[in-house]
Amino acid sequence: MTRFVERHPAWALIIIIAVAVALWLIFAVWPPGLEEAVGRKRVFLNALFNGITLGGLYFLVASGFTLIFGLMRNVNLAHGSLYLFGGYVGYAISASTGSWILSFIVAFILTALVGVLLQVLVFRRMEGQDLRQTMVTIGLSIVFADLMLWACGGDFYQIQTPNWLIGPIELPLITAVKSSGEPVYLRYPLVRLVIFLASVIIGIAMWLALNRTRIGMIIRAGVDDRDILAATGVRIQIVFVLVFALGAGLAGIAGVVGGTFQSLSPGEDIRFLLASLVVVIVGGMGSIPGAALGALIIGLAEQLGSVYIPTYAIVVTFLIMVLVLALRPQGLLARR
Amino acid sequence: MLKGSLGLIALSSLLLSGTAFAQEKIKVGVTATLEGTYTVLGEDGIRGFQTALNVLGKKVGDKELEFVIASTDATPDSAVRAVRKLIEQDKVQILLSPLSGDEGIAVKNFAKTHPELTFVNAASGAQETTYVDPAPNFFRYNMDGAQWQVGLGKYAYEEKKYRKIATVGEDYSFIYTQVFGLVLEFCGAGGQVTNRQWVPLGTKDFASVIAALPDDVDAIYLGLGGADAVNFLNQYQQAGGKAHLMGGSIMIDQTILSSKGNAKNALVGTLAASGQADTWEDPGWQKFVKDYQDAFPPNKRFPSPSLLATNYYGSTMALILALRQVNGDLSNNQAKYKEALAKIELDAPNGKIKLDANRQAIGTNFVTEVVDDGKGALFSKVVKVIPNVNQTLGYDPAVFAKIGLPSRTVPECKKY
């Protein structure tokens, strides 16, 4: 931190000012002039929170994608299919047992199993052949999409939100002050906060597992140099299967999350594949903190964009991607 | 492209039944949105099409009709691609296409490059398709989005006493046309439309849109369809929204009313208008509902046909009946057939339909309210039936032309 300030005093100043402005925008009561210029504070705060929570969902999908890429150099273009598959499994479980929590567990296990099969039956047979892997995964994603359309139809599925999560809660953030002097607090959907919290916990757990455990050490070593790691006697294929299972399982969990606060239907697989590609390109291929930062940026850009520049909202995320590719092609937080 | 498995099954069954006889065939190409946001709408459209074939049969004189189904995803380029494929590869002579608004405008323009063929619109409802520079070989037997909103604005103002409303709609031609019809009538009656929000087709996360909805309005009008509508309602419920709602024609429709999950319950009591009403007493409508229900097992259809099924049914009906009138004669660039199509008057399930000079339907419109049948299924109940709705919505054509074409900001909220 201090080294960063010493080396880039100008950037540090800009960042400090930006953080201060953001904090002021969030906590202060907006003066009437500002409300007139950019709209009500309630709208701004909602868009901000939505961006952060949407970023949480993107992170869940993209972290698995980036983990798999980082270790195995596999661009798994069937990752979106795993997301949708997890969602459908979650729906089936929650509809038949009524348990939301159970649907996460089953979705994680089943998609992880599919991931293991993918790794053992497909990727292991074509290790190191990037183009072939890419083509095969594109093909698989089309096959999976058709199979799921066949099994589940084109209907929209929503996973039932458990009763204790329905409805908004009041946050201690003042959005406006009534003429009587009574403050109006921000009301925000509880389910989104819970989901965001869960994705933060998963993110931190993953970071800890990667940086504080033995298996994490092996994975990091594998990301750096797979061949040397294999030469030291680590059974790298088992590590690959494990990581693939984890990455796929995370996509499955994300499917349940997405099915709860959005919906599941054919086409969602491609949308989330595209989102995770953009997130990973912005954040840096293979980096978990990069995926978190990328997800946050893309989520915020989508939501703030949809409120303040609705016409061009669709372009904003791709604009960010183009900028990153032009200025820092390896991604914001990539090491190399 | 491969995703239209429903279409493929339908197609293969049609082909199989057709190969039994070695006789002259007439080839018809059909498109539907069997991919993307509007998948459910496309599937039910095909069900309406199948129902029509069940009722009318596939024989025209001694000729047999053969159908080829292609899938689109509601974007104009996908529709043109599908139509081009049907014409160039499958050599179809007649087209039943397309389903969605922007697709309609694109296919109409494409129709001009094939003046020898005949295009029967399947279900698309943008005003521009038949109002601006219409193609002489493009026939539309369903009303446009603005016609489908006739009666809604007045009813909301006079009976429900709404004075100020805001709208949220998908950002494309069909919804522009729907909002056009609503605003024209609601503002004409004296109401105010304070805010019009547009979201891209295929938006998943509506939370910020919901937060930006104004509080000081009597009702919020929703012009959404397919997955977008379901997502909106789901997130609206999570945000604890409680405003009165009004709905467009594909918002208050079985495609949404029978979706899974409980978000749709926010729609009970919602006022809407459309080219059909689920609970209409008319015997013709009831017969169609029964035909539709008999044609498919309950888990493969909606409790009652959606607007798309009805439109596909009516368009298929026109296509086949006119073909029978000329006894399958497609000679001389299909001149006789086109003449028959322009003149035909349909006794469609949703009321009588005839075409105007632009080959655009004049038909019946319904103001409806969503009710719960007591068993958890939602239906649209008729509150008002308005016959003979034409494309200029009863305005003098010169006055109507001055209003401008439907867009994000047209029409202005005033009396024309």
- Does B264 or B155 have the greater pLDDT score? B155
How confident is the model over B189-207, as pLDDT tens digits? 999 999 899 988 878 888 8
- A161 chain-B contacts, CB cut-off 8 A: 238
| Cβ within 8 Å, pair B34-A150 | no
> Does the pLDDT value for residue B1 go beyond 50?
no
| Cβ within 8 Å, pair B211-A160 | no
What mean pLDDT, rounded, does chain B reach?
A: 90
Task: Find, in chain B, the residue whose alpha carbon is nearest to that of A159.
Answer: B261
The half-sphere exposure of B265 on its side-chain side, counting CA atoms within 13 A, is 9
From CA B225, how far away is CA A269, in angstroms rounded? 20
Residues 6+ apart with CB under 8 A from A277: A65
Q: How far is CA A133 from CA A67, A243, A330, in A?
A: 16, 17, 21
- Average pLDDT (B325-353) is 94
The list of chain A residues with pLDDT below 70 reads 1, 335-336
Residue with the two structure tokens 């349940």: A256
Looking at residue B146, what DSSP letter applies? T
CB-based burial label for B123 (10 Å; 0-12, 13-18, 19+): buried
- Supply angle C-alpha B180, B185, B187, rounded to 5: 95
Substitution target from B238, B242, B299 for chain A, most A beta carbons within 10 A: B238
> How far B56 CA lies from chain A's nearest CA (Å)?
27
Substitution target from B6, B40, B204 for chain A, most A beta carbons within 10 A: B204
Task: Find, in chain A, the residue whose alpha carbon is nearest to that of B169.
Answer: A310
Most confident of A315-319, B52-56, B58-62, B71-75: B52-56
> How far A70 CA lies from chain B's nearest CA (Å)?
29
> Does the pLDDT value for residue B108 go beyond 90?
yes
Are residues B110 and B83 in contact, defined by beta-carbon separation less than 8 angstroms?
yes
> Does the pLDDT value for residue B248 go beyond 70?
yes
Task: Find, in chain A, the residue whose alpha carbon is nearest to that of B209.
Answer: A307
| Cβ within 8 Å, pair B260-A158 | yes
How confident is the model over A181-191, as pLDDT tens digits? 788 888 888 88
The pLDDT of residue B21 = 46
How confident is the model over B258-273, as pLDDT tens digits? 887 777 888 999 999 9
The pLDDT of residue B79 = 96
Substitution target from B208, B238, B301, B302 for chain A, most A beta carbons within 10 A: B208
Q: At B308, is the pLDDT very low, low, confident or very high (cuts 50, 70, 90)?
A: very high
The pLDDT of residue A336 = 53
The half-sphere exposure of A34 on its side-chain side, counting CA atoms within 13 A, is 12
What are the helix and strand counts (H, E) for chain A? 14, 2
How confident is the model over B131-150, as pLDDT tens digits? 999 999 999 999 999 999 99
Facing residue for A158 by CB, picked from B73, B211, B263: B263
> Does the pLDDT value for residue B8 go beyond 60?
no
Task: Find, in chain A, the residue whose alpha carbon is nearest to that of B260.
Answer: A157
Task: Find, in chain B, the residue whose alpha carbon is nearest to that of A149.
Answer: B3
The pLDDT of residue B38 = 86
Q: At B2, is the pLDDT very low, low, confident or very high (cuts 50, 70, 90)?
A: very low
> How far B11 CA lies from chain A's nearest CA (Å)?
16
The pLDDT of residue B355 = 95
Residues of B with CB under 8 A from a CB of A: 2-3, 5-6, 34-37, 39-40, 42-43, 73, 171, 197-200, 202-205, 207-212, 226-227, 230-231, 234-235, 237-240, 259-263
| Cβ within 8 Å, pair A167-B240 | yes
| Cβ within 8 Å, pair A310-B199 | yes
| Cβ within 8 Å, pair B205-A314 | no
Facing residue for B207 by CB, picked from A50, A150, A267: A50
- Average pLDDT (B348-361) is 95
The pLDDT of residue B47 = 96
> Does the pLDDT value for residue B70 go beyond 60?
yes
Are residues A108 and A253 in contact, defined by beta-carbon separation less than 8 angstroms?
yes
Substitution target from B6, B205, B250, B308 for chain A, most A beta carbons within 10 A: B205
The pLDDT of residue B388 = 94
ipTM of the assembly? Answer: 0.71
